[in-house]
Structure 1
């Protein structure tokens, strides 16, 4: 690199250094605005110009507690965690089998699995609703877990296959020649080498189930209602309860933000590792 280009980069570096916090602040601004609204007294929420300094209150969070929001929050937590675990339990072996399949039709099967994930959810609404009504799964956690697992399975298979492709088959052959069984090879050799991919896949599956609104709205009423649907219920004909909406939205977003920050290293390393083969 020439001295002229190097000096040009040095002159531009201060601007690039400030660009990151500016962009980050712009991305977090809606959440920060929602968060301050959740602590703002009701008469001040729609005040214009908005007040920056005010005496915070917890009345909106108390109202959420009295309105049964904790039960909806627990429903979201249970359905997201259980559906993610089930999708991993069934999807990881399927991805490994597809990765080691050397016969004809591998590409077509993989494409078919991916296409099922790309279909819009509205296409499955009526069949799932009719089947759930017949089976008695409407407004149940079990019904939500099954549908989240169904939609996450293709994602697990599609994401995990490149990780298993990157595991050298020679390691498995050597272990088999030493007397190890197929289950031992899979659990003690293949799985640890694909740990980053498993973590990234689990994060994405959890976020899909946690953020789902469409299926939870159609397939639940009261008993299995999730947190996103509970927040929308504060928008009614009598008026929108902005304080409770802001408090509920903050509680729904906070775990996702905290969880994403804690596991961001695994998410980035898993996605980048899966993009490189060989």
Structure 2
């Protein structure tokens, strides 16, 4: 009996060791590019190219100074923030009522059409958007970029929130209607407060999609509205690539989103798992 218990404990120990070793290897593979990016942002061009200096180098801050002094990186940061925030707010304003309507009134055909739009590559809409906005004189404006990002964010928010609204008990709505609440009042005062984790998840992921979007910026952005993904090309010239400044810029693009994601991970998990178990 004692031997059987000892063998069982030994088996559990081996399983745990194997699990954590596997987890460590996966984390190493996933995190290595990010680690290399951070280290390279504090290196000179020579140190970046020398593989033997991966960890042994003298850190410098010149790359970050170059990003803001020579490449004027503050303006693209502000542009990306304005476009990301405005497109996310517009997507929430239109997407939340649409998702609730599809969920409660079983508008499956409408949901299917929206899903089909999400499957279509964004580059398909590039030329029509450019023609429309150029005719209206809206090229190189935040408004044009924000509207173009709706093609990505709006279907995503709708399809993320539909299962969340499905998971909410209908008894609450029936009770509110019996008490004399209107559909709009029910949606604003009951449904939305109960859906905060899902809304936070949808908002964060929508903002990330907009923050990282390059396709629409290539056609609709200009000197006044250049976003971060487009500004990265400033570090690449015909003759050379400024790797140090490029890595510093990549860190500045990635870290804010990473910090927000880590701080909001509890809401993200709740939002993505909503509707997985019903009843």
TM-score band w.r.t. shorter chain = over 0.9
Contact 1:234 1:241 in 2 (8 A): yes
1:30 maps to which of 15, 28, 33:
33
Which residue does the alignment assign to 1:192?
Answer: 193
Which residue does the alignment assign to 1:169?
Answer: 170
Q: Distance in 1 between matches of 2:9 and 2:198?
A: 38
Mapping 1:146-165, distance limit 5 Å = 146-165=147-166
Q: 1:5 to 1:269 in 2, by over 3 A?
A: farther
Q: Distance in 2 between matches of 1:144 and 1:47?
A: 40
Q: 1:10 to 1:42 in 2, by over 3 A?
A: closer
Tell me the CA shift for residue 25 of structure 1.
2.7
Which residue does the alignment assign to 1:209?
Answer: 210
Matched, 1:56 2:71: no
Q: TM-score, normalised by structure 1?
A: 0.92
Aligned residues: 274
Q: 1:235 to 1:184 in 2, by over 3 A?
A: same
Q: Distance in 1 between matches of 2:134 and 2:217?
A: 15
Tell me the CA shift for residue 149 of structure 1.
2.1
Mapping 1:1-278, distance limit 5 Å = 7-66=10-69, 67-102=71-106, 106-278=107-279
Runs of 4+ in 1 over 3 A off after TM superposition: 2-7
Tell me the CA shift for residue 7 of structure 1.
4.7
Tell me the CA shift for residue 75 of structure 1.
0.7
Contact 1:37 1:246 in 2 (8 A): yes
Q: Distance in 1 between matches of 2:174 and 2:75?
A: 50
Gaps of 5+ in 2: none
Q: Distance in 2 between matches of 1:199 and 1:51?
A: 38
Q: Distance in 1 between matches of 2:182 and 2:234?
A: 54
Tell me the CA shift for residue 219 of structure 1.
1.5
Deviation by residue 1:48-69 (Cα, 9 ceiling, x = unmatched): 4334222211111111112111
Structure 1 vs Structure 2 CA RMSD:
1.8
What secondary structure sits across from 2:57 in the alignment? coil
Deviation by residue 1:6-33 (Cα, 9 ceiling, x = unmatched): 6523322122123323322321111110
